[in-house]
Amino acid sequence: MTMDRTSWIALITCMLLLVAYQPVMRHLYPPVPVPAEVAEPEAPGVLPGIKEAPQISSGGVGALTRELPEAARTHVLENGVMAVQVTEGGGGISKIEFKEHLLEEQKRVELNQAAEVPVFNVRGWALPADVAAYTLAERGERRAVLQRTLEEGLRLERIYELGGDHVVTLRQTVYNDTDGVKVMPSCRMDAGTIGTDYQKADERRFLGVSWRTTGGGFHKEKITSFDAGFSGCFRPSTSCGAGPRRSWNGWR
């Protein structure tokens, strides 16, 4: 039986694979090193060279740090269709109540009510905790101003305003009161959570977040459907998206 060129190439390739198999596997999966023998302890119950295990806080892995107690001052912004509660604990929106939407129990729909952090809570930026303390500098029917000092010479101001419909706007500004340039560390903003999975009779369930950018682009993150009555963490989908919208001085 004669072998053509293709058969010879296949045979040589198989031989090379057989020869190279073990070296390749040893390279990809090196043997586990044998641990060194532990010396006899100098005293009963004590092992030399073993460091004390790190201590975990009582809050457990991933527990939030807070700069102030849970009972922070709050203020409610209100119009004809919703009430928005802002809080000094995190400087964000702790709860939103829709006046025209009722659950089966005839209770008003409330969003973000069970979340650990408020909507638009900021972490980083040299803030002392995951949920930092702010001061309510101005409280009005449809406008609230929260402020805090980030570091010496840097002030953070957050202005919340209600529109005439299901619209709440955050304008965030950092003021540099020094004569020099300040370089700020990174930060992240919590978009909040949906506290209630609300739906009308002809709509499918929805969980997710959506937001607009200044360039007009629209982005959404969904799990099941985008057809439900609420989009994102606090605004109906019928009002063109929800969540942070980046502006020149922060988020809006």
The answer as to whether 41 is a domain residue is no
- Does a structural domain hold residue 24? no
Does 98 map to a domain? Answer: yes
Does the residue 35 lie in any domain?
Answer: no
2 is a domain residue:
no
3 state SS for 100-159:
EEECCCCCEEEECCCCCCCECEEEECCCCCCECECEEEEECCCEEEEEEEEECCEEEEEE
As for how many domains the chain has, the answer is 1
7 in a structural domain: no
φ, ψ of residue 76 to 5 degrees: the values are: -105, 125
| Whether the Cβ atoms of residue 96 and residue 85 lie closer than 8 Å to each other | yes
Please write the tens of the pLDDT for every residue from 35-93: 455 455 444 443 333 333 333 233 333 567 888 766 678 999 999 888 999 999 889 99
Helix (H, G, I), strand (E, B) or coil at 18: helix
pLDDT tens digits along 180-208: 888 878 888 877 554 444 445 554 443 34
Structural domain boundaries enclosing 150: 74-251
Whole-model pTM above 0.75? no
Q: Do the domain assignments include residue 43?
A: no
